[in-house]
Structure 1
Amino acid sequence: MRVLVTGASGFVGQRVVQELLRNKHEVVVLTRNIAKSALNLGSHCKFVQWDAVSVPSQQAFEGVEAVINLMGEGLADKRWDDAQKRRIHDSRINGTHLLIKAIADMPKKPKVLVSASAVGIYGNRDAEEITEASTTGSDFLATLCKEWEAEAFKAKDLGLRVVVVRTGVVLGRGGGALKKMLPVFKLGAGGPIGNGKQFMSWIHVDDLASIYVEAVTNPVIVGAVNGTAPYPATNKEFTKALGKALHRPAFMPVPAFALKAAFGEMSSVLLEGQRVLPKKIKEQKFRFHYPTLEMALKETAY
């Protein structure tokens, strides 16, 4: 199958491309910087230039049967001032809109669109167990994700099967949440955030990449899918497990007021939580390689 991927140079995108190639799929990458993408992803992909502010070229879609949309400004890249929130919003909503517009103009359309979303759509829910059928929230992230998904679901009207993957905290070597956390924990200065009771819905990046490929190839999967591991953990449990994996103490709490001062509104992502369960993907007998936090951190913490 020929699969077109946006956001392929990111931490998750690179693993998704690797998993597609491992499963013998052809990969077309839409990218702003062909040289950089080729360096990151290797010579086995086809690269097509796209500035993400205009409709992508029809040439990019020749022979494409599936589209994986991973584009978006990193949530933790900068403090959330109004300008950054606008960049976070526009990089997702406008980019997805342009992608759907290109598909709409195609005489022969792909069969499926798998587009990124996030568990932030559910809002702060404390210890409540959340599945794909749960209600959504109303804060900035929840509203953003709802708009993002709404753009993706417009492809349904074009005859495509649409899947949105609501991703949790992504763990893996060389990127994701651990990239910023590991230096602090290696110094023995890590610890719970706030009261530590908030749930973290996490997933290993290799399992997430496999979920994307499963969503592309399994015609039964439709609509929202929670891209999380089956056993979410509280922040306190997470920091304890990370300290253990690194053989370092992890008892120095980070007070809520310090996070709010440092990160502003973005601190809510760290201080609030969701206990999200991957009900739909488990119903498909999907096999997690890293179902427990201990297994994931043993592989990623180094």
Structure 2
Amino acid sequence: MERARIVVAGASGLIGGALVRSLTADGHEVVRLVRREPRAADEIRWDPRNGRVELPECDAVVNLAGAGVGNRPWTRAYKEEIRRSRVLGTRTLAEAMARLEPRPRVFVNGSGIGYYGDTGRRTVDEDAPAGAGFLASVCVEWEGAAAPAQEAGVRTVFVRTGLVVARGGGAWGKLFPLFRAGLGTRFGDGRQYWSYVSLHDEVAAIRHLIDREDLSGPFNVTAPKPLTNREITEAMGRLLHRPAVLAAPAPVLKAVLGDMAGEVLGSQRVLPRRLLESGFVFAFPGIEDALRAALDRNTTGA
């Protein structure tokens, strides 16, 4: 895409921040949506809870906003916050795009591989139906909230993201310090599959989906070869020279994490079929590649 104006919701998050840095480095104009009073010329205030936003004329809208899944214990109230923050934000933006003239060329909306639920050892791609469980139901509502934009003719893409390998946030932001301290551990029996993606490839995939005018619908953004939790923890132990000899038994995880334990112990063996078919090439396809990229301060968003 030539120099474009791109509106980003969730620009302060792990993925959003890396995306904004990548876009601005290439000369694109980025407008960040914030829920406080704007402090810079590139910020616009929005109120997703009450459905309020005045979008500027733009080429693309990227929505990565939502309460962090792993930030707090899953109380009933926080689970509702996870759901509402995604659904209300998406609906607010979709309805605003439908009112806008001219409309943006593309709406890239966040989602997650939680859409598929626990897949066990079975591989799934974008043709698989939604699974069961809390995150699956959230993802279904999250994607469904984009309907006003789709119905208005805006090309809409759903980025079903896996576990993002990054030093500065997300699940791996918590795992790296544990392994460095010699406290690395597998979860449960370690046989559950983790579908991961490097932060660099996550950003590159979003930009690929913005640029390609022939692409719409759901795309799994995960590395081509998902691995088991045991394989990943062993790789981290090798790379950080801290062998993972401990294990966190399932009953302990359930006692500590509550409802979230089901997601940690669940298995998601997800393949990025549509992304690969579109010609996207992963820069860091293997787990050790992704881990090294996360530890390299010169890698995008590491």
TM-score (norm 1): 0.93
Match of 2:129 among 112, 124, 135: 135
Q: Distance in 2 between matches of 1:49 and 1:31?
A: 5
Aligned to 1:253, what secondary structure does the other structure show? strand
Match of 1:184 among 169, 178, 198: 178
Aligned to 1:211, what secondary structure does the other structure show? helix
Q: Compare 282-291 and 17-26 and name the one that shifted more.
A: 17-26
Residue in 1 aligned with 2:18? 15
Q: Distance in 2 between matches of 1:61 and 1:229?
A: 35
- The answer on whether the counterparts of 1:96 and 1:152 sit within 8 Å (CA) in structure 2 is yes
Q: Distance in 1 between matches of 2:90 and 2:174?
A: 28
Shift of 1:35: 6.5
Instruction: Name the aligned partner's letter for residue 259 of structure 1.
Output: L
Residue in 2 aligned with 1:118? 112
Q: Deviations over 1:202-252 (max 9, x none)?
A: 000111011111111101211000010111110000000011111001020
Q: Compare 85-94 and 100-109 and name the one that shifted more.
A: 100-109
Q: Deviations over 1:52-110 (max 9, x none)?
A: 2234443x322x01100001000001111110001001000011111112122223211
Aligned to 2:48, what secondary structure does the other structure show? coil
Q: Distance in 2 between matches of 1:224 and 1:82?
A: 29
1:1-302 correspondence to structure 2 within 5 Å: 1-33=4-36, 46-58=42-54, 60-62=55-57, 64-301=58-295
Q: Deviations over 1:85-138 (max 9, x none)?
A: 010010000111111121222232111100000000001011111111112102
Aligned to 1:75, what secondary structure does the other structure show? coil
Q: Distance in 2 between matches of 1:14 and 1:133?
A: 30
Q: Distance in 2 between matches of 1:258 and 1:24?
A: 49
Q: Distance in 2 between matches of 1:207 and 1:33?
A: 30
Q: Distance in 1 between matches of 2:270 and 2:130?
A: 12
% identical aligned pairs:
39
Q: Distance in 2 between matches of 1:144 and 1:105?
A: 26
Show structure 1 runs of 4+ deviating over 6 A.
Answer: none
Unaligned runs of 5+ in 1: 39-44
- The answer on whether the counterparts of 1:19 and 1:213 sit within 8 Å (CA) in structure 2 is no
Q: Compare 207-216 and 152-161 and name the one that shifted more.
A: 152-161
RMSD: 1.6
Aligned to 2:218, what secondary structure does the other structure show? strand
Q: Deviations over 1:135-180 (max 9, x none)?
A: 2102111011000001123311011001000000001121121111
Aligned to 1:297, what secondary structure does the other structure show? helix
Residue in 2 aligned with 1:41? none
- The answer on whether the counterparts of 1:239 and 1:250 sit within 8 Å (CA) in structure 2 is yes
Q: Distance in 2 between matches of 1:102 and 1:274?
A: 34
Does the C-alpha gap of structure 1 residues 35 and 180 become closer, same or farther in structure 2, counting only changes over 3 Å? farther
Instruction: Name the aligned partner's letter for residue 163 of structure 2.
Output: V
Q: Distance in 1 between matches of 2:23 and 2:293?
A: 21
Shift of 1:301: 4.2
Shift of 1:34: 5.9
Q: Compare 123-132 and 25-34 and name the one that shifted more.
A: 25-34
Aligned residues: 293
Shift of 1:265: 0.5
TM-score (norm 2): 0.93
